[in-house]
């Protein structure tokens, strides 16, 4: 009896969460650039040579990533989305890049991206066709996995269009196994739960065992209503999805749209702060060649990136909604905590939030040190459980703090 209890206790201690896909990748949320939200399925290189889906686009992004500090900030993957292939497979049944838009082919593009010290991502679909109507991988999982490995690709985004939903799980698992069989380390980004949700609650244990990150909800658009809908969905499903996140596997709320057209600067700060709190992949979809300095500075903010990439690898959650504020909190390594306060009231001016109302504030007993990271970096000094500190939050903006307990006692009660 005692032994059984001991064994059980040990099991609980050793296995806190489900096993992650064991390919050694995505130990921290993936960082990079992904073409979809900004460039979509623009294949007209005659009319729009600068912005069409072509090898030139990815080469230029790779160049900028190195020259403009993106690589140094941690952005590593240059990712192709839909609309890259030819409409026909080759004589051996392999996918091939559109020859006009990718005259060098994907292998050459991968070599170029690797020569810059970056990695290349590609896109395919578990079903008969991709969402934009290009050839899907159904019936070709092993062939396509081997083709991507032969091309030295480093990441696969695997979409779920044109697939019988009852076969989704099997398809995603088979591609995971096929990738593994190639022997090349290929990060596997899935959309499996997104396509399953309308029919049943996805099995996150199985998903975590097979994928390095997974989309749960609708595509992000360049608008505040889209960001809000993603946050609302995440908050209302966090009990189901947050426990499955951790080193090796992450919930993916979709791309960062910072640096585009639809978000005010405060809203851009909210997306950056909340994506860091959610331990989300930071895949930017914008035009890195032409981005305003303020958005660039935000995306390269090392304090926010440090929260995103925190080694504890725990996804944060919405802990309270009160008076049109949302508080989101993420436990960090060294018993620290990140707190994001979002002001969801889209009328009026900045409003004050009494910070000790944040549920996580209990780690300030008896004392803590507080740093404000957004909207401006500011040391807020030593605080206590009874502090009168009020933080100011702009409409649809977020004030982001890190809190460090300053005594062992506080550490013990965590
Ligand atoms: C789906 C995905 C998007 C994008 C498009 C491409 O909508 O969710 O992220 O890949 O397909 O067609």
Cα 142 to averaged position of ligand 1 atoms, centre (Å): 22
Q: What is the pLDDT of residue 309?
A: 98
Q: Last residue of some domain: 258, 286, 308?
A: 308
Same domain, 303 and 326: no
- Domain range for residue 47? 19-308
Q: What is the pLDDT of residue 160?
A: 98
Q: What is the pLDDT of residue 18?
A: 75
CATH of the domain at 378: 2.60.40.1180
Q: For residues 25 and 2, give the distance between their C-alpha atoms in angstroms, rounded to a whole number.
A: 38
Mutational pocket test of ligand 1: of 43, 53, 82, 126, the residue with most ligand atoms within 8 Å of the beta carbon: 82
Q: Last residue of some domain: 278, 308, 338?
A: 308
Same domain, 194 and 340: no
Q: Last residue of some domain: 289, 308, 327?
A: 308
Nearest CA to ligand 1 atom 8: 219
Give the position, in ligand 1's atom list, of the atom nearest the Cα of 218.
Answer: 8
Catalytic positions are 159, 219
Q: What is the pLDDT of residue 408?
A: 55
Report if pTM > 0.85: yes
CATH of the domain at 294: 3.20.20.70
Q: Which residue has the tokens 């991507």?
A: 148
Same domain, 71 and 180: yes
| Beta-bridge mates of residue 215 | 252
Residues of the chain with pLDDT under 50: 1-16, 409-414
Residue 371's H or E segment, with its range, is strand 368-374
- Decide: residue 7, CB within 10 A, 0-12 exposed, 13-18 middle, 19+ buried: exposed
Cα 128 to averaged position of ligand 1 atoms, centre (Å): 15
Cα 195 to averaged position of ligand 1 atoms, centre (Å): 11
For residue 4, tell me if it sits in a domain: no
Contacts of 90 (CB under 8 A, 6+ apart): 96
For residue 262, tell me if it sits in a domain: yes
Q: What is the pLDDT of residue 247?
A: 98
Same domain, 137 and 159: yes
Same domain, 292 and 321: no
Mutational pocket test of ligand 1: of 36, 43, 156, 252, the residue with most ligand atoms within 8 Å of the beta carbon: 36
Give CA separation, 240 vs 29, 236, 380, in Å. Answer: 19, 9, 35
22 C-beta neighbours (distance < 10 Å), count: 9
- Ligand 1 pocket residues where CB is under 6 Å: 36, 81-82, 130-132, 159, 191, 219
Nearest CA to ligand 1 atom 9: 219
Same domain, 378 and 243: no
Contacts of 213 (CB under 8 A, 6+ apart): 26, 29, 30, 189, 190, 249, 250, 251, 252, 281
Q: What is the pLDDT of residue 407?
A: 72
Same domain, 203 and 293: yes
Q: For residues 156 and 148, give the distance between their C-alpha atoms in angstroms, rounded to a whole number.
A: 8
Tokens of 307: 């929260």
């Amino acid at each position: 009896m005692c032994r059984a209890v001991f064994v059980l206790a040990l099991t609980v201690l050793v296995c806190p969460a489900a096993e992650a896909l064991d390919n050694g990748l995505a130990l921290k949320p993936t960082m990079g650039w992904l073409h979809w939200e900004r460039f979509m399925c623009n294949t007209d290189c005659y009319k729009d040579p600068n912005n069409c889906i072509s090898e030139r686009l990815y080469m230029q992004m790779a160049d900028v990533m190195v020259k403009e500090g993106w690589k140094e900030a941690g952005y590593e993957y240059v990712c192709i989305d839909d609309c890259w292939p030819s409409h026909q497979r080759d004589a051996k049944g392999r996918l091939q890049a559109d020859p006009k838009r990718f005259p060098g082919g994907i292998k050459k593009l991968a070599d170029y991206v690797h020569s810059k010290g970056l990695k290349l991502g590609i896109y395919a679909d578990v079903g008969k066709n991709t969402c934009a109507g290009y050839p899907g991988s159904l019936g070709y999982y092993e062939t396509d996995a081997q083709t991507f490995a032969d091309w030295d690709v480093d990441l696969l985004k695997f979409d779920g269009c044109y697939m019988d939903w009852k076969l989704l799980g099997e398809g995603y698992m088979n591609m995971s196994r096929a990738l593994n069989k190639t022997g090349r380390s290929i990060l596997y980004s899935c959309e499996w739960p997104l396509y399953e949700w309308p029919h049943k609650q996805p099995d996150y244990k199985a998903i975590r065992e097979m994928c390095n990150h997974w989309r749960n909800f609708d595509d992000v658009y360049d608008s505040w209503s889209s960001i809000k809908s993603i946050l609302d969905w995440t908050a209302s499903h966090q009990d189901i999805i947050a426990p499955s996140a951790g080193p090796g596997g992450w919930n993916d709320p979709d791309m960062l749209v910072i640096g585009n057209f639809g978000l005010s600067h405060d809203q851009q700060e909210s997306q950056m702060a909340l994506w860091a709190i959610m331990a989300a992949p930071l895949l930017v979809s914008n035009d890195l060649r032409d981005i305003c300095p303020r958005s660039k500075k935000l995306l390269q903010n090392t304090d926010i990136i440090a929260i995103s990439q925190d080694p504890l690898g725990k996804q944060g959650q919405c802990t309270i909604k009160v008076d049109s504020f949302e508080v989101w909190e993420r436990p960090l390594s060294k018993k620290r905590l990140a707190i994001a306060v979002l002001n969801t009231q889209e009328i009026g001016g900045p409003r004050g939030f009494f910070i000790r109302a944040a549920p996580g504030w209990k780690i300030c007993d008896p004392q803590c040190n507080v740093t404000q990271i957004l909207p401006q970096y500011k040391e807020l000094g030593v605080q206590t459980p009874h502090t009168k500190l009020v933080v100011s939050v702009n409409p649809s903006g977020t004030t982001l703090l890190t809190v460090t307990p300053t005594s062992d006692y506080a550490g013990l009660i965590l």
